[in-house]
Amino acid sequence: MVNLNFLRQDLTQSVGVYLLYYYGDFSMYGIIKDANYQECCLPIYVGKAASSGRRTGKQTAGTSLYGRLLDHRKSIQSVENLKIEDFRFKVALMDMDLVSVSWGEAVLIRHFNPIWNWEISGFGIHDPGSGRAGQKRSIWDQLHPGRTFAAKLSVGNSPIDLNILSAKIFQHCQAVKEKLGCPLRD
């Protein structure tokens, strides 16, 4: 398990899947911190770095694990209420095969049900660009303000209710923690 501050250059040529783990003091994620107290048990996010050409079947170099994790590090560093040193990651390197990377990500998401993949969407998105300015700000960006592109997006008529979201996070993570058999904190 490696801190996001210490990305390795050897991941620049690698594709595969990765799991992010949280150990910080953001109050809504206390249950995640507790689940990871002794070991990596409950990831907060699962993602992939796959070769380009998924839509056409033409396999090219694409996004590396290093590039994808670097994007995530920048996102976390840009927000007001998370600290990069509170995150760790694990990677599973895979062949350049288009199907295995996407399949691996799907299996890990189904197994671990990470909160940023289920209840708090938007962490992995990029700047939507000028043609999609009407897009709404993601739940993740409402909960973790600071990304420049997200500030330009409207919350619309659906700002998040922190009390409801906090309860959802706790219930979701508690169920996953029990399913995975995460050790209890003393």
Residue 30 has a pLDDT of 95
**What tens-digit pLDDT sequence spans the chain (186 residues)?**
565 555 555 666 678 899 999 999 999 999 999 999 989 999 999 999 876 555 555 554 456 788 889 999 999 999 999 999 999 999 888 766 666 888 889 999 999 999 999 999 999 887 666 555 567 889 999 999 999 988 888 887 778 899 999 999 999 999 999 999 998 776
Which tens digits make up the pLDDT trace of 89-138?
Answer: 998 887 666 668 888 899 999 999 999 999 999 998 876 665 555 678 89
Count CA within 13 A, CB hemisphere, residue 74: 13
Task: Enter the tokens of residue 86.
Answer: 């509170």
d(CA 54, CA 62): 10
Q: What is the largest CA-CA distance in the chain?
A: 51
Cα four-point dihedral sign 15, 61, 47, 7: positive
Domain extents in the chain: 2-180
C-alpha closest to that of 16 among 75, 88, 98: 98
pTM of the model: 0.86
- 141, exposed or middle or buried, with CB in 10 Å at 0-12, 13-18, 19+? buried
Residue 97 has a pLDDT of 63
